[in-house]
A and B are shown apart, each in its own frame.
Chain A
Amino acid sequence: MKLKGWKDLTPGSVILEGGNAVQFKTGSWRAFRPVWKKENCIHCLFCWIYCPDMAVNVKDGKMMDFNYDYCKGCGICALECPGKKGQTAIEMVEEGK
């Protein structure tokens, strides 16, 4: 991609394109990875609501999987996950293990 020169920039560094954070993948920062245990998931979607980015894929009101392109491994989803009968549906696993 050719980078813009100073004459081509929008004044005030305003971003004119809504929702373009999708172009900025931040998953490589992650040290811990959330792993979904489907059998313990009650599809409450707390993980989707609490995720500060867009790392939880949901379809038709159901948790589908994680999108690791945007997951920074903050662990909020794992903390909030109520699981099923005390068994968590999201476990944080160290990357590279």
Chain B
Amino acid sequence: MAQVTLENVTKRYDDVTAVDDVSMEIEDGEFVTFVGPSGCGKSTTMETVAGLTKPTEGRVYIGDDDVTTLAPKDRGVAMVFQNIALFPHMDVYDNISFGLQLRTYEDEEIERRVEQAADIVQLEGMLDRMPDEMSGGQRQRVAIARAIVRNPDVFLMDEPLANLDAKLRVHMRTELQRLHRELGTTIIYVTHDQAEAMTMSDRIAVLNAGKLQQLAPPLVCYNEPANRFVAGFIGSPSMNFLEGELVDDGLETKNFTIGIDHDVVPGATIGDAITLGVRPEDVHLVEYADSLTDPTDRISARTDVLEPMGDEVFVYLLLADQAERSMDQDPASSPNQLLMSVTPDTDIQEEQSVDVVLDRSKIHIFETATGKSLAHGIVDRSDQESGPTATEAE
């Protein structure tokens, strides 16, 4: 058991910087997920912890030891790989005991530990099978058993569930959480699947282009994203972004204006280019908005396409009459489109004129130029008693 500290870790290859000055502290026993789009440097960051990649600059500490230059085998880490990486020429027992046999352990001790590990991941009776005789989920459990059998200080998991089918993935997700509770070991988990990140982690580290964007508990990343990238990456479907400007009487976007006191947006002055962000579930039809304590003014729109998902319906709204449905523009950032999520029993059709309101307490304001978050919730200070505070992310 140990905490992991990254100190200004940078990894440069010939022409790209895979990891750019990442610093973070991961507590002992914490489950931290690195999440981000492909090529954001999350796997490389993990490899610097594992020792498979040597950082160009910066230092890595596990516990109190500087392990920056240590070989992977001397770091007390265990890793589960995306491609599972069981040794195909060894049976399950040999695979699990591989690391123990390389160290000086008594045969009985090895046997006892392998059985215990197999017990934890429910692999009893399969120890003499070959990897190619097992299903994907079983193989993944062997890989996890191989990792836990050595009692590592830190677990590293590099997209361990990516190659499993959807149903098994959900099952293994709960298994991993159970495992973390049982073992209490520090776990660093890499994924591009935000559902995994949201459900399992104590904290999420969102990375983009090699830079750490935010390191915070999942719900903080969701409710108070530190910048526009985190806001757009966490949550599915993505948050709506509407570029606009801070004006005298509020916040003006291309198709509507929301009246606010501009002092609820700290650090911004009138005339600044800002971006409004609102999640699809915080866009409401006027008819169903009675429960909102703080709705915005009506915004008239026309429905475009409906996407019934079963538990909810996604409604694509066109804000301007002449709005063109451009195929090459991401609807999330188009100034003329808004994605709304409604319950399935809502009475709504395609090509229908509707009025919608936004939940003011759930509106996010970002600086357009930098993407930096300025405010979460634009409830007027005057009548703000219980509403969420406009906070900077931690």
Co-assembled chains A and B: no
B→A interface (CB under 8 Å) = none
